[in-house]
Amino acid sequence: MSHEQKLRGFEREIESWKIRIKDANDRKTYDEVFDRQTLLAIYKLFSDGFFDILDFPISTGKEGNVFRGITRAGDYVAVKIYRLSTSTFRDLGKYILGDPRFKKAAKRFPQIIFSWAQKEYSNLERFSKAGVRVPEPIAVHRNVLVMEYIGNEYMPAPKMKDVILEDPNATAEYLLESVKNAYSRGHIVHGDMSEYNVLMTEDAPVIIDLAQAVVLDHWMSQELLERDITNLARFFRKAGVMIDEKEQLGRIRGGETATS
Ligand SMILES: Nc1ncnc2c1ncn2[C@@H]1O[C@H](COP(=O)(O)OP(=O)(O)OP(=O)(O)O)[C@@H](O)[C@H]1O
Ligand SMILES: [Mg+2]
């Protein structure tokens, strides 16, 4: 299977699952089961040598946590752990714990999250191959993703929303060029571009949080592209940079090439 087909496969799976798990109980049993699974996944990556230490949490969010890890060689990595028990999925316990008919769905449940992690890994690869600066993907196992750490010895790189931009024009241009390269070379749209998902380093902005990115033949790709541009325009307007959204969309779409 080609990379493209694999990505489409993940996307389809995730979409079908989203519908299935809408109505959702039994929190405790649920959390216990999946937290153990998470520990096992972390242990696997640890024993495979991807990190020796989980250093400190960089971020604790609704959907997961990001830790800084340290390898045996002393290098830093970022370890993103997708939570297996968010409230979104809570009520699925009802299916899992009582009804034998849903055994299959129950078994499939953690796969949804695994697919998100896997998809983020693939998307990171794809952006990177298209020449867009994102964290380099290193490993993924179940709901745990290991990638390049963006930051220094003392702290992770700040989000764009938390810094005063030295040259907002240049940053805007750089990010629009990144969106264009992802689109025309990588045939992919980020889908959640905003000042929350860009980390600022001394060299260049680094785009993060790619699980939701979609390939161009996804039915939502154009809508998401428009939203990405609108989000960038809204943010940069406040920094005094006017982005002509129509013009940018034309430029990005015009640069599209036919091959994958
Ligand atoms: N590779 C990385 N290097 C350094 N810090 C990172 C890296 N990846 C993510 N982070 C930090 O972790 C935070 C959350 O990561 P990300 O945006 O990928 O996850 P999320 O699921 O969107 O979580 P949230 O809802 O908290 O944004 C980021 O805002 C950033 O501060
Ligand atoms: Mg984010």
Tens-digit pLDDT profile for the chain (260 aa)? 676 776 566 566 555 544 443 344 445 555 555 677 888 899 899 989 999 888 888 998 777 889 999 999 999 999 999 988 654 454 444 444 455 555 665 556 788 889 889 999 999 999 999 999 999 999 999 999 999 999 999 999 999 999 999 999 999 999 999 999 999 999 999 999 999 999 999 999 999 999 999 999 999 999 999 999 999 999 999 999 999 999 999 999 996 444 43
**CATH number of the domain where residue 204 is located:** 1.10.510.10
Which structure tokens are listed for 51?
């990190």
CA triple 228-230-232, angle to 5 deg: 70
Q: How many domains does the chain have?
A: 2
Q: Is residue 259 part of a domain?
A: no
Q: How far is the CA of 95 from the centre of ligand 1 (A)?
A: 31
CA triple 41-43-45, angle to 5 deg: 75
Quick one: angle between helices 245-254 and 221-238, nearest 10?
140
Domain ranges, residue 167: 160-254
Ligand closest to 157 (CA) is 1
Q: How far is the CA of 198 from the centre of ligand 1 (A)?
A: 9
Instruction: Indicate which residue's Cα is closest to atom 19 of ligand 1.
Output: 209
Measured from the Cβ of residue 199, the count of other Cβ atoms closer than 10 Å reads 23
What is the amino acid identity at position 144? Answer: V
127 and 14 together in one domain: yes
138 in contact with ligand 1, CB cutoff 6 A: no
CA triple 39-105-24, angle to 5 deg: 80
The residues carrying an active-site annotation are: 192, 209
Rounded to two decimals, the pTM is 0.84
156 in contact with ligand 1, CB cutoff 6 A: yes
Q: How far is the CA of 208 from the centre of ligand 1 (A)?
A: 7
Domain boundary among 93, 125, 148: 148
208 in contact with ligand 1, CB cutoff 6 A: yes
